[in-house]
Amino acid sequence: MTTTTRISDAFVPDRWYDWMNVDTTTKTALFTSGVLQSNPEVAALLGGGGRTMNMPFWKDMSDDEPGIASDDPAVESVAEKLTSGKDVCRRQLRTHSVSVADLTPVLTGGDPLTRLREASSRFWERHFQRTFVHHLTGLFTDNSTNDSGDMINDISNDDATTATSAELVSAEAVIDAQHTMGDKNNVFSVIMMHSDVQKRLKKLNLIDFLPDSNGQVMFESYLGLRIIVDDGCRKLTVAAGDTTNRSKYWTYLAAPGAAVWAESPTATPAEVKREPAQGNGMGVETIYMRRQYVMHVPGIKWTDTSVAGEFPSYADLKNVSNHDRVYAERKQIPLALLITNG
């Protein structure tokens, strides 16, 4: 007689959380590329209470010319005042559940727990990547609105004619985006783009391949930047029949550590519920997952001005009113945005 292994037979909540945590940090491109880096100080803040957490920082000194030494006792040095600022990050708590009928593994074979882990890993990978992209949408919109767009290179255009090469992604356009960082332009390691932009680079045969740190997995690269492709990257589309506007694509450049990350397990990060009556008595099991974390770009304060629920939705993350740059120097924030027509 064949015996079906149920999820509840092999499910260990603590082990499941460890799996989720390890899979997130070892399989998600934002982590493996180094753009998102764990921060123990933020993790300590996350362990406390509150929706938002304050992150005070010391402001840098000015670039004024130093004084010239003198032997005149009447000439005194005027001390520059060292001041501080306050950055703010936001707690996120997200949940997800998925059900599996006992009949499914009977018909398909395989270990249902392994299949659930693989599917859940891909789900959270996509979620964290989309969360980062939505953060970028909000902070770059704030940059355009309130900081003169000093982190943005916009070569796009609205026109009835076909986009020219000067309005499409190119080495020149990427380099100009990098140089919004001035003499710090070489800090970038990742370029994150929509697949339509990737397609243009492929057609031009401009994509190279870089090995990972172990020399095993090969990553697509452009101008030495590792490519991350996500169709969640902002694409401003035009309505059907619109002949006066064009689609616009947002392509992001990021340096290692451009964003910080911390995760703290909830009291019950995962659990299984069994419903024996469902499936006409065959039974259905549901696994519930909960992730509590912080994802934050240092220097971009979360204002919490407009949040509809207890925790920010994707729409809230994109809302310009929830972001405010508190680092005075553009070079302190190693991110850049390139806007093109393809």
Q: What is the pLDDT of residues 91-136, one digit of tens each?
A: 999 999 888 777 666 556 666 667 777 778 888 888 999 999 999 9
- In this prediction, residue 162 carries a pLDDT of 85
- In this prediction, residue 4 carries a pLDDT of 44
pLDDT tens readout for residues 21-69? 666 555 678 888 889 998 888 888 888 888 998 988 777 777 778 888 8
CB 339 within 8 A of CB 152: yes
- In this prediction, residue 172 carries a pLDDT of 96
- In this prediction, residue 3 carries a pLDDT of 43
- In this prediction, residue 1 carries a pLDDT of 34
Q: Which of 103, 177, 133 is nearest to 339 (CA)?
A: 177
- In this prediction, residue 106 carries a pLDDT of 55
Length of the chain counted residue by residue: 342
Integer-rounded Cα radius of gyration of the chain: 24
Cα–Cα distance measured from residue 191 to residue 174, given in angstroms and rounded to the nearest whole number:
9
CB 317 within 8 A of CB 135: yes
- In this prediction, residue 110 carries a pLDDT of 62
Concatenating the DSSP letter of every residue in 167-229 gives: GS--HHHHHHHHGGGGGGGGG--EEEE-HHHHHHHHHTT--EEEE-TTS-SEEEEETTEEEEE
Element (H, E) at 58: strand 52-58
Orientation angle between helical segments 112-146 and 13-27, nearest 10 degrees: 50
Residue numbers of the chain with a pLDDT score lower than 50? 1-5, 9-10
φ, ψ (nearest 5 deg) of residue 167: -110, 5
CA dihedral (149, 153, 157, 158) positive or negative? negative
